[in-house]
Amino acid sequence: MTDAIDARARAVRTSGLVRIVGAGLLGSSIGHALRALGVDVVLADASPAQLRLAVDYGAGRLARDDDRPDLVVVAVPPDVTADVIERELGAFPDAVVTDVASVKLEPLLTLRERGVDLSRYIGSHPMAGRERGGAIAARADIFFGRPWVICRDEETSARDLAVVEGLALDLGASLIEMTPEEHDRSVALVSHVPQLVASLLAGRFVGAEDASLRLAGQGVRDTTRIAASAPELWVQILGANADPVVEVLDALAADLAGVARALRDPDAPGARRAVADTIRRGNEGVERLPGKHGQNRRFETVVVMVDDTPGQLGRLFGDLGELDVNVEDFRLEHSPGAQFGLGEISVVPSAVTVATDGLAARGWKIASLND
Amino acid sequence: MTDAIDARARAVRTSGLVRIVGAGLLGSSIGHALRALGVDVVLADASPAQLRLAVDYGAGRLARDDDRPDLVVVAVPPDVTADVIERELGAFPDAVVTDVASVKLEPLLTLRERGVDLSRYIGSHPMAGRERGGAIAARADIFFGRPWVICRDEETSARDLAVVEGLALDLGASLIEMTPEEHDRSVALVSHVPQLVASLLAGRFVGAEDASLRLAGQGVRDTTRIAASAPELWVQILGANADPVVEVLDALAADLAGVARALRDPDAPGARRAVADTIRRGNEGVERLPGKHGQNRRFETVVVMVDDTPGQLGRLFGDLGELDVNVEDFRLEHSPGAQFGLGEISVVPSAVTVATDGLAARGWKIASLND
């Protein structure tokens, strides 16, 4: 698992000291990734507890008075992003400052209104995240293979641009150049509206019968998975990107009204066709998404039935240890009332046969391999 | 895959001959599962090619003139379900007939209107599927642990009910009894509307810029995954369940209009609160879904740092076994480049102290308690 990062260690572009302000998911993840490349990373966070956690986990070190960062990465919530960018530009007059906020136009307009000299600032946005937040969820690999939007403008020097691009490339991301407006319209469509739609759909379950919800399957679980996201952050993101979000929402509302009308009056001219077209356009749209077949499937999964009694997982992992199989990820699915759980063991592809045959020989019931 | 089924082979409830009409995903999957239990299965399908494929794959055998099935399973598209049920009831006067269609009221009303004797018919619906269809996608294990709705009525004999329930139990499903109306309202909420919403959202990508779609991440991919479903089937399902679907769609449209209004005019009274409430209700709704996320709230989490070497998890679970702590769920977070992972151990609240103190005393570094 460390190979991907180690292999690139010789070509590290980021040099000097990197200061990361905000030790949450993105900030701490950037810290872990840079530390793995041997870069000196200093962390700051308004929350002493979050900062301590991030430092304990190895995402970076505490600040010292003589720190002179070459690059400052602002990874704080959207509503304080402009303030922190302004403060960091002032505090470190030799540093390039970037931010990783999900909305790019509003902080820029705020800073311009205040007359801040933005020649050393370059907005950016790594398209990476997890539904869980905080330093505890940080992972060095969340940027790997993901797009990283960089918003340069005519003020941006080639040297400063190279610093921010180097950070993105060092973390394994691929660069996309966009204007702040293009970025904000794009994330409204592929991130902010999907979040709202998932939340609205899941919101319909609040008043539903228990029995109805028991029928829920993987489809609706996937469709609403991101509805588990944190309200505080999303209120800020949606508020800061309201115009592009509302534009997509309005179009979606019109589409929704159209299909509801067709279902209500199926004998009206074109009604059946309208329903079919909705599903067909959905087919076409989902085909256009990149990587729909899971580009990051570096691991395969072996599923094992595990009795619901103490000691069973110990025996399982003991057996895996004896087989010299390194478990990259493990998840236990446990259905209420069932006498057993399903343990999903992620391993590198070359270990699948060893794990499957070895566990079966030790009496484990292998439930299934990958689809 | 077959082990889970083999282990229960001694208690097979389904006896005699089972005839499956429709050798698509569900029909063929039922065939595979029954064959694995040693049950004689005959397959029929309007498409000779589909039938040959299913037989070649081992889902059952071709029909013979002297077949006298004890149970007929109708697994054909919704628009022909009533016709096939009527035909099979007539052709096999000693058989119990069930169907597995996604909509339960419309076929029943059609058959009643035609005056068909339905005393040997019991509608049912296994909540199982995949986004891929056809005999080629069939898997014996898709029913395992999934709900299987059975719609009995006052005409249903105990003997016939036992036959259909036996089928569901043999395939590893859990039984849920509902009226056709309850079933149809439930699937409108947890299956049909989520499908439409995913299709509508993905439909918005049809006219989008390539660069915008490059920013798509796992969130929107999950949200729109089921938009890849086949139009033909969904037009039938949505058409046959139009009233309950429209009812949910209308409520959703009102919610959507409300949040769009709040975003358009953020300074209106209650606007910011409306956005936060949308996300919060989504949190609450998704928590109610059974499976992965919902059920685990009864448990608390102990997070332990685990070295990235084989055998460490074995030692961890060995220690937990010695402490007599039952692990309800376990998840390993592992960041590439990090020398350790974070093991999240879900336990009942009363076991938190024992687990935390006991593991700490055995030298484990406890990372944190719940977020």
The residue segments making up the domain with residue B63 are 2-178
Query: Do the domain assignments include residue A245?
Result: yes
Within 10 A of A288 (CB to CB), how many other CB atoms are there? 16
Q: Does residue B56 lie within any of the structural domains?
A: yes
> What are the structure tokens assigned to B166, written together?
């036996």
| Angle value at C-alpha B245, between B271 and A269, nearest 5 degrees | 105
Closest CB to A204 among B189, B209, B308: B189
**Per-residue pLDDT tens for A250-270?**
999 999 999 999 999 999 999
Please report which helix (H) or strand (E) contains residue B45, including its range.
none
A99 assigned to some structural domain: yes
Q: Specify if B117 maps to a domain.
A: yes
Bridging pattern class, strands A365-368 and A300-307: antiparallel
What three-state secondary structure class fits B29?
Answer: helix
Q: Are residues A313 and A277 in the same domain?
A: no
Nearest-CA residue of chain A relative to B337? A2
User: Smallest CA–CA separation between A137 and chain B, in Å?
Assistant: 8
Whether B362 and B222 map to the same domain: the answer is no
Q: Tell me how close the Cα of B64 comes to any Cα of chain A, in angstroms.
A: 33
Q: Are residue B98 and residue B239 in the same domain, yes or no?
A: no
By Cβ distance, the residue of B215, B225, B253 closest to A260 is B253
Of B203, B239, B251, which is closest to A285 when you measure between CB atoms?
B203
Which of B145, B194, B333 minimises the CB distance to A223?
B194
The verdict on A191 and A93 lying in the same domain is no
B189 and B173 in a single domain? The answer is no
Between A272, A287, A338, which is nearest B235 by CB?
A272
> How far apart are the CA of B343 and the nearest CA of chain A, in angstroms?
9
Distances (CA, A) of A67 to A17, A56, A188: 8, 20, 38
- Chain B residues within an 8 Å CB radius of A309: 326
Q: What is the number of domains present in chain B? A: 3
List, as one string, the DSSP characters of B93-121: TT-EEEE--S--HHHHHHHHHTT---TTE
If asked whether residues B197 and B235 sit together in one domain, one would say yes
Q: Which of A147, A227, A266 sits opposite B215 (nearest CB)?
A: A147
Which residue in chain A is spatially nearest to B172 when comparing CA positions?
A338
Mutate to test the interface with A, among B293, B295, B335 (most CBs of A within 10 A): B335
Task: Evaluate whether residue A294 is within a structural domain.
Answer: no
Which chain A residues touch B330 with a CB distance below 8 Å? 313, 330-332
Shared-domain flag, residues A225 and A362: no
Rounded to 5, what percent of chain A is helix, strand, coil?
Answer: 50, 15, 35
Residue A293 in domain: no
**Domain end residue (candidates: A240, A262, A288):** A288
Per-residue pLDDT of chain B (371 residues; tens, 9 = 90+): 344 444 444 478 999 999 999 999 999 999 999 999 999 999 999 999 889 889 988 899 999 999 999 999 999 999 999 999 999 999 999 999 999 999 999 999 999 999 999 999 999 999 988 766 788 778 888 898 889 999 988 889 999 999 999 999 999 999 999 999 999 999 999 999 999 999 999 999 999 999 999 999 889 999 999 999 889 889 999 999 999 999 999 999 999 999 999 999 999 999 989 999 999 999 999 999 986 433 445 678 888 888 877 778 888 988 998 999 988 778 776 655 556 677 888 888 889 899 999 999 999 988 654 33
Same-domain check for residues B52 and B167:
yes
Give the angle A294-B231-B149 at the CA atoms, nearest 5°. Answer: 85
Residue A203 is encoded by which pair of tokens? 């919101």
Q: Which of A288, A314, A332 is the last residue of a domain?
A: A288
Amino acid of residue B241: N
Which residue's structure tokens are 């001219």?
A269
Residues of chain A contacting B278 with CB distance shorter than 8 Å: 196, 199-200, 203
Q: What CATH number is attached to the domain comprising B260?
A: 1.10.3660.10
Q: Are residues A174 and A209 in the same domain?
A: no
Give chain B positions within 8 Å (CB) of A134. Answer: 371
Shortest distance, CA B238 to any CA of chain A (angstroms): 8
Domain end position, chosen among B284, B312, B336: B284
Q: What is the CATH number of the domain that holds A317?
A: 3.30.70.260
**Which CATH number characterizes residue A79's domain?**
3.40.50.720
In sequence order, the 6+-apart residues with CB closer than 8 A to the CB of B199 are A278, A279, A281, A282, A283, B227, B229, B234
Q: Residues B9, B92: one domain?
A: yes
Does some domain include residue B207? yes
Whether residues A24 and A164 fall in one domain: yes
The answer on B136 and B33 residing in a single domain is: yes
In a domain, A247, yes or no: yes
| For chain A, percent of residues with pLDDT exceeding 90 | 67
Helix (H, G, I), strand (E, B) or coil at A145: coil
* pLDDT of B298: 63
Q: Which of A194, A239, A336 sits opposite B266 (nearest CB)?
A: A239
Interface test with B, best of A286, A288, A302, A348 (most B CBs within 10 A): A286
Which residues of chain B neighbour A33 with C-beta distances below 8 Å? 337
* A211–B1 CB contact, under 8 Å: no
Distance of CA B66 to the CA centre of its chain: 36
Q: Which residues of chain A are within 8 Å of residue B212 when distances are taken between CB atoms?
A: 182, 185-186, 189-190
Please indicate whether, in this complex, the C-beta atoms of B278 and A2 are within 8 angstroms of each other: no
